């Protein structure tokens, strides 16, 4: 394994960790659900892009988690099934109602909590791939 690729991937993961930690802090402090959701999406995006880097691929400059997961699945199919629904939901967190006109999106605490836990599971699964 190329140590340079591992280090570059770790940089992506560290930034993803900051996003997931921020999402958790906002959730714990009853922050706006759209802000929590945004950081969940960002954490997943950075982990998927970091995994692509780890595998020697240049990540595309997109925010569509479904598309990123498809690229990851082409390299490691077992990451796809357990995470596709999360990626579908979290992609909308980036796209839905982030800009005027109209009110910001609101998500239930239960939905956000479940997706935060699922995102942590996905992060753990990707980290385990690096350790293998």
Average pLDDT over residues 95-111: 85
Return the structure tokens found at 83: 């995470």
φ, ψ (nearest 5 deg) of residue 125: -65, -40
Q: Which band of pLDDT confidence, cut at 50, 70 and 90, is reported for residue 130?
A: confident
Q: Which residue has the higher pLDDT, 39 or 94?
A: 39
pLDDT at 2 over 80: yes
What CATH homologous superfamily does 3-131 map to?
A: Nucleotidyltransferases  domain 2 (1.20.120.330)
How confident is the prediction for the chain on average, in pLDDT? Answer: 94
Residue ranges per structural domain of the chain: 3-131
What is the spatial distance between Cα 20 and Cα 4, in angstroms, rounded to a whole number? 25
pLDDT of residue 101: 81
Indicate the pTM of the whole model: 0.95
pLDDT of residue 132: 76
**Residue 44 neighbours by CB under 8 Å, 6+ apart:** 16, 65, 86, 87, 90, 119, 122
């Amino acid at each position: 394994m190329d140590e340079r690729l591992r280090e570059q991937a770790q940089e992506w993961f560290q930034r993803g960790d900051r996003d997931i930690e921020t999402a958790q802090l906002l959730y714990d402090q009853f922050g706006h659900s759209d802000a929590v959701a945004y950081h969940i999406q960002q954490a997943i995006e950075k982990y998927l892009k970091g995994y692509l880097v780890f595998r020697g691929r240049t990540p595309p400059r997109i925010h569509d988690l479904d598309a990123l997961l498809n690229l990851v699945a082409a390299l490691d199919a077992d990451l796809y099934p357990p995470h596709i629904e999360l990626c579908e939901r979290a992609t909308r967190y980036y796209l839905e109602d982030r800009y005027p006109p109209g009110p910001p999106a609101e998500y239930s605490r239960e939905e956000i909590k479940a997706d935060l836990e699922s995102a942590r599971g996905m992060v753990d699964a990707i980290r385990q791939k690096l350790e293998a």
